[in-house]
Structure 1
Amino acid sequence: MAIHPTAQVDASARLADGVEIGAWSIVGPGVTLAAGVRVASHVVIQQDTSVGAGTTIHPFCVMGGDPQHGGYKGEPVALEIGANCTIREHSTFNRGTPGDRKLTTVGDGCLFMTGAHVGHDCVVGSHVTFANNATLGGHARIGDRVFLGGLCAVHQFGRVGQGAIVGGLSAVTRDVIPYGSAWGNHVRLHGLNLIGLKRKGYGKAEVRRLLAAYRDIFEAPGLFSERLDAAQAAYADLPEIQEIIAFIREDTRRPVALPGE
């Protein structure tokens, strides 16, 4: 371990081999840092936070802060961050609340650019990218391989399905379907995240079928519920479409973003 002499590390913190802690950083009670975690200078890891192996936290981040919730009275709540994440300057991550999961979780391999914020009780998947100042309200759920553009904000209890992309400056007051491409203030659905699908290795034939299913769900005539039923039957062999349909039908607090709204 390489701990700068000006750093303050609580006696109850657990540090694995290869942990580095820079000048003037604070590691509070109940914090666990796995092997190879690098904490730069002027970082605060307040308490009850675990950070996975190989994650790097840049200066002026505040990790494991109290939830920004008026009802929080100091109860035991936690934050878990996965392995091999990069957390850039001034990012903030809050612990959970007793009224929900008591836990905020972040997956592996995520990139949080400058000023990103993850609110209390959020669930963030793996290989997610937050551009500068992307923000999650409390209880939000973000799937794997999501890209959130700079200065976008996801409302409390909002959902963004895996593989989706949200454009910068977007107010996400409606849920974004898996593999969707959405932007605007307030956010609207503009199709599928074609770039993300290609990067994930989808071929032209697969993308064409996904686009056909998208049009059948969102652009065909008839009642929306009937279109969902028809697409569920017609594309039973496409797990991505079944995932989108299940996402739409899930009973949640936010409506789903639709084209043209």
Structure 2
Amino acid sequence: MASVHPTAVVDPLAKLADSVEIGSYTVIGPHVEIGAGTRVGPHCVIEGHTRIGQDNQIFQFCSLGAAPQDKKYAGEPTQLLIGNRNTIREFCTFNTGTVQDKNFTRLGNDNWVMAYVHIAHDCVIGDHNVIANAVQLAGHVEIGNRTLIGGLSGVHQFVRIGDFAMVGFSTRLSQDLPPFVMAAGNPAEAQNAHQEGPRRQGFSPARLAVLKQMYRIIYRKGLTLDGARAELDALRGQEPESVADIDMMLSFLAGAARGIVR
């Protein structure tokens, strides 16, 4: 059976795997599912149609699965989906989705989410991201994989952040941030190609060099976005190892409805 502190209030309809641990004074609602190995600290509230995977560590005073902060929300059974092996620190607030968009908010796997982070309705966050203290994500934000989001940063609704992007401390991000790009400031400005994260993941020197070349094409040659995409496409044949990175960048730029950080 799950280990539930005597002071916790767990609805009998909630589904807890046998190895789940629930801390003191925590409240678990009837539509909540929590997978094996997940530990929930004291004084948390997990409600709504929330599904949490395996081996997550949720620290004290978190609010997960509350109704979205959207005036259009009318009580529909939208979801919060949390994957496996995430660390969610103190005072985080994650809301469910809305029927006007995805119907769910999703956090993937192996993410490190620090204290006071807010993830609003219909956000979709990938895997292996580090989201530092007091980052605030508005509704409909999409974040890829292996990003770094600096503390006290705010992300405007509908903004996308690509794989391996890095957002500096206390940044206001109101346009899309392409993959492999570092940005900082209020408003955000592109700073350089982000190479340290890819290097730690085993990118070869040749592949890292292409990341710098992509950055120069987009940000240093004075090209329009369409012009940069044409040059990036021509770059595909020069380094076979980097074709997937170039394709990722081209796909991201093609979907940049809000424009990109410049």
TM-score with structure 1 setting the length? 0.95
Equivalent position amino acid for 1:239 in 2:
A
Once residues 37 and 64 of structure 1 are traced to their aligned partners in structure 2, the CA distance between those partners, rounded to angstroms, is 16
Residues 4-41 of structure 1: per-residue CA shift (max 9 Å, x gap) = 01100111100112000010000001100000110110
Q: Which residue of 2 aligns with 1:107?
A: 108
Q: Which residue of 2 aligns with 1:64?
A: 65
Q: CA deviation at 1:135?
A: 1.2
Match of 2:244 among 227, 232, 239: 239
Residues 202-249 of structure 1: per-residue CA shift (max 9 Å, x gap) = 122221122123212322255442232122122244211221122111
- Give 1:3-42 correspondences, 5 Å limit: 3-42=4-43
Once residues 2 and 53 of structure 1 are traced to their aligned partners in structure 2, the CA distance between those partners, rounded to angstroms, is 15
3-state SS of 1:189 partner: strand
3-state SS of 1:241 partner: helix
Q: CA deviation at 1:178?
A: 0.7
Q: Which residue of 2 aligns with 1:52?
A: 53
Once residues 223 and 125 of structure 2 are traced to their aligned partners in structure 1, the CA distance between those partners, rounded to angstroms, is 35
Equivalent position amino acid for 1:217 in 2:
I
3-state SS of 1:151 partner: coil
Tell me if structure 2 keeps the 8 A contact 1:213–1:235: no
3-state SS of 1:209 partner: helix
- Give 1:62-141 correspondences, 5 Å limit: 62-141=63-142
* Structure 1 segments of 4+ aligned residues over 3 angstroms from their partners: 221-224
Change in 2 beyond 3 A, CA 1:137/1:223: closer
Tell me if structure 1 keeps the 8 A contact 2:97–2:105: yes
- Give 1:173-192 correspondences, 5 Å limit: 173-192=174-193
Equivalent position amino acid for 2:161 in 1:
V
Change in 2 beyond 3 A, CA 1:225/1:16: same
- Aligned-residue CA RMSD in angstroms? 1.2
Q: Which residue of 2 aligns with 1:218?
A: 219
Tell me if structure 1 keeps the 8 A contact 2:178–2:249: yes
3-state SS of 1:138 partner: coil
TM-score with structure 2 setting the length? 0.95
Once residues 176 and 223 of structure 2 are traced to their aligned partners in structure 1, the CA distance between those partners, rounded to angstroms, is 22
Once residues 32 and 82 of structure 2 are traced to their aligned partners in structure 1, the CA distance between those partners, rounded to angstroms, is 11
Once residues 122 and 171 of structure 2 are traced to their aligned partners in structure 1, the CA distance between those partners, rounded to angstroms, is 22
Q: Tell me the matched-pair count.
A: 257
Tell me if structure 1 keeps the 8 A contact 2:195–2:211: no
Once residues 218 and 138 of structure 2 are traced to their aligned partners in structure 1, the CA distance between those partners, rounded to angstroms, is 29
Once residues 57 and 82 of structure 2 are traced to their aligned partners in structure 1, the CA distance between those partners, rounded to angstroms, is 11
